[in-house]
Structure 1
Amino acid sequence: MNNNIHNPDVLSCLANLSSDEVFTPPEIANAMLDLLPQELFSDPSVTFLDPCCKSGVFLREIAKRLNKGLEAHLPNREERLGHIFRNQLFGIAITELTSLLARRGVYCSKYPNGPYSVVRFDNAEGNIRYKHITHTWRGGKCVFCGASQAAYGEQARQEGLESHAYEFIHANNPNNLFPMNFDVIIGNPPYQLSDGGGDGSSAQPIYQKFVHQAKRLNPSHLAMIIPARWYSGGKGLDNFRAEMLNDQCMKIIHDFPETADCFPGINIRGGVCYFLWGKKHKGDCLIVNHKNSDTTKMVRPLLEKGTETFIRHNAAVLILSKVKALHEETMDNRVSSRLPFGIPSNFTNYTRHADIEHSIILYRSDRSKHSDKKVFVAPINITKNIKWKDSMK
């Protein structure tokens, strides 16, 4: 036998579907499972749900831990595995393809009612369900997820493209998906969907909808890995940001400013994070910053006293204290957020020459496709901060 043969975990070798639907490496899945109270894996009554299955890695790694942790309760291995797979592990796949992949990873057979399944079910899904869902269109957008009808509507389906209508967030009542309560919800949701804006490349975040829906199921523990852009809000994330930063149940956040430190070969602007939310936890949060192989840890509130912004880096907390002690003017009084005047980049309701109605100068970006860089708009078009119109900018 050659001991030098490399035998990698097949789930660590999968190519990602896209930068929006990223497979979770087994080591990251286990790092997230390490955040949970480990006595959960010795309790035969605890139930687990992955509401966004892709490879099935979370359920597979949970099964390994339960198989070991329940030996004292269920000494017979066949009986133990039957109990684990039938009564404790549940998943919702995001596409038909990932449903087959997840079942193969969890049950060792894409058809769990077949002869090769670790545990034989009476149906071809086992406890990893997939149901083709259609979007509900209103005004060109899906009322559940905000997907663009132009990008994901009937024409896309006729061309054989995936609709990306995820069952978990298209349910009015997620409790109807499974007739039971879940102690632990864990997963890596899809990150964004095209919203039909711009030249077709514009997209809106969708991962926050999975977090919201998971909380509606009232689990004891919730762990998800998501883009870190929610720290600063914007693009439909302002309410989610406020909710997360003021949630006393946020127990742990592992932060990766460089996505590659978590997902090798993937670049997601702003990095990613994974978190643990605990229903019984009340108080400060453990923030773990990752950079290359270095980590820093600090238990602290998500919002420092007198601030409205999450301070991402632990080292910056002490710097903030020193700066605030000087009582000088801060940058938030000198810079603005996106769309300071409420005028989007594709705004066209302007004139080339000033008149009685259009009296305010608008300087267009050098990136504009139009030659007119200095145009004129009406005061009614300035929907925010009109008091700034005569100030230096």
Structure 2
Amino acid sequence: MTTQDTLQPDAPGRASFTLRGRNPDVLTCIANLSNDEVFTPPEFAGRMLDTLAGAWAADHGGANLWADPTVRFLDPCAKSGVFLREITQRLTDGLADQMPDLQERVDHILTRQVFGIGITQLTALLARRSVYCSKRANGEHSVARSFDSADGNIWFERMEHTWRSGKCIYCGASQGTLDRGEDLETHAYAFIHTDDVRARVAELFGEDMQFDVIIGNPPYQLASDGGTRDVPIYQHFVEQAKGLDPKYLVMVIPSRWMASGLGLSEFRQTMLADRRIRELVDFPVASEVFPGVEVKAGVCYFLWKRDSEGDCAVSTVRGGQIVGPYPRDLREYDVFVRDGRTISVLHKVLAHGESPINSILARDKEFGWTSNFDGFHEKEQSGDVPLYYSGVAPRIAQ
């Protein structure tokens, strides 16, 4: 909707609704639930949608994505509803010529094109409020007029984990941490707690749905017992989204998958081998995307295109400066080298065929010595190596 559009009441008791430009945008004022479930700033959501629209135009002879009344969008991990809201606004503007009547246009978009799955009861209510301007899609203040249910096309129901040997078989959550009764959220996200994601989506929305675009910002991790080793779960959302076979997939996820991360080795190899990842935008400092939030190693978003394979256009953004895009073959190494400017240097170094320094120096076993070595003695013997410690006299080790 444009800032001038006004939805007039079509029945007694229906309130009129005017969407005016607001400063600040309410979705910029909401505190994050945690570092695991991070709200996406509207400006960043817009950046991801611009990337999507550019790819659509390139693949469809310059066509405007937002002027197509047949495209279906899904956010499988809706929190604030920002992606669905921004998509709705763009479609409302883009379809104006084809559907001059504003109410007809909005009803078509909200009932046939825009879908979401809330990750918690709270975020589902928030997403409905952002998209329908009412916590009930069929409420008197909703901008939609064609829904029979209060949920509309933004679904949420409480799910339970499936425990086996103290862990959830789908997400790896700890039973000791999240098996905690009906009064608290389970964080058993519907989209990833299933063996058949197509059947799950058909169950949620009442028909065999085919989505053209899947976009979102999934939960990043779940706390384990004691909170010492959090379990990453965002990779499951990426894998399930691919399983729905959309034409385009755009997600923002932590960048730790590129080189490290608990339980991410298989996911990393899958991502690096996938030639359908056509754009990757990396932010080494996560706070530049999510102010006030620490996500170690930064975040990135990627564009995956079902019907296109080739090198990936990689950009790095730091301090407002954009490096790239550089065309990259992500399969080149078993980890992802983040800074494209270093690739030529790396090629030159590897050309010498020398042993890498990490084969002799590692943080837990420097030069072959373990930190718990205790075989010291007072008198030097043949083959001994003197070990020096800061502020301590040398000791002799065999």
Where does residue 109 of structure 1 map in the other structure? 134
Q: Which of 184, 202, 206 is equivalent to 2:229?
A: 202
| Cα shift at 1:315 | 1.3
Q: Aligned with 1:18: secondary structure? A: coil
In terms of mean alpha carbon deviation, does 7-16 or 71-80 score higher?
71-80
| Cα shift at 1:116 | 0.3
Q: Which of 63, 69, 91 is equivalent to 1:66?
A: 91
Q: Give the TM-score of the pair, scaled to structure 1.
A: 0.81
- Does the 8 Å CA contact 1:302/1:310 hold for their aligned counterparts? no
Q: Which of 106, 129, 140 is equivalent to 2:155?
A: 129
Q: Aligned with 1:17: secondary structure? A: coil
Task: Please tell me the residue identity of whatever aligns with 1:123.
Answer: S
- Partner Cα separation in structure 2 for residue 14 and residue 145 of structure 1: 27
- Partner Cα separation in structure 1 for residue 329 and residue 374 of structure 2: 43
Task: Please tell me the residue identity of whatever aligns with 1:79.
Answer: E
Q: Aligned with 1:150: secondary structure? A: helix
Where does residue 88 of structure 1 map in the other structure? 113
Give the fraction of aligned pairs with identical amino acids, expressed as a percent. 48
Task: Please tell me the residue identity of whatever aligns with 1:8.
Answer: P
Where does residue 347 of structure 2 map in the other structure? 321
| Cα shift at 1:362 | 7.0
| C-alpha distance after superposition, 1:24-49 (max 9, x if no partner) | 00001010001112522111110000
Q: Name the CA shift for 1:316/1:280 in 2 (closer, same or farther; >3 Å).
A: same
Is 2:16 the counterpart of 1:13? no
| Cα shift at 1:339 | 10
Is 2:257 the counterpart of 1:257? no
In terms of mean alpha carbon deviation, does 14-23 or 233-242 score higher?
233-242
Q: How does 1:176-191 map to 2 (within 5 A)?
A: 176=199, 177-178=201-202, 179=207, 180-191=209-220
| Cα shift at 1:201 | 2.8
- Partner Cα separation in structure 1 for residue 342 and residue 235 of structure 2: 26
Is 2:181 the counterpart of 1:157? yes
| C-alpha distance after superposition, 1:332-383 (max 9, x if no partner) | 533569999xxxxxxxxxxxxxxxxxxxx9754xxxxxxxx759xxxxxxxx
**Structure 1 unmatched runs, 5+:** 341-360, 365-372, 376-391
Where does residue 311 of structure 2 map in the other structure? 284
| Cα shift at 1:124 | 0.8
Where does residue 394 of structure 2 map in the other structure? none
Task: Please tell me the residue identity of whatever aligns with 1:191.
Answer: Y
| C-alpha distance after superposition, 1:74-114 (max 9, x if no partner) | 12111111100000000000000001000000000001111
Q: Give the TM-score of the pair, scaled to structure 2.
A: 0.80
Please give the root-mean-square deviation of Cα atoms over the aligned residues, in Å: 2.3
Is 2:143 the counterpart of 1:118? yes
| Cα shift at 1:304 | 6.4
- Partner Cα separation in structure 1 for residue 213 and residue 364 of structure 2: 37
- Partner Cα separation in structure 1 for residue 364 and residue 276 of structure 2: 30
**Structure 2 unmatched runs, 5+:** 1-20, 58-63, 376-396
- Does the 8 Å CA contact 1:56/1:106 hold for their aligned counterparts? yes
- Partner Cα separation in structure 1 for residue 76 and residue 365 of structure 2: 35
- Partner Cα separation in structure 2 for residue 338 and residue 243 of structure 1: 28
In terms of mean alpha carbon deviation, does 279-288 or 295-304 score higher?
295-304
Where does residue 100 of structure 2 map in the other structure? 75
- Does the 8 Å CA contact 1:191/1:226 hold for their aligned counterparts? yes
Q: Name the CA shift for 1:221/1:336 in 2 (closer, same or farther; >3 Å).
A: farther
Where does residue 5 of structure 2 map in the other structure? none
| Cα shift at 1:7 | 1.6
- Does the 8 Å CA contact 1:284/1:299 hold for their aligned counterparts? no
Task: Please tell me the residue identity of whatever aligns with 2:155.
Answer: R
Q: Aligned with 1:244: secondary structure? A: helix
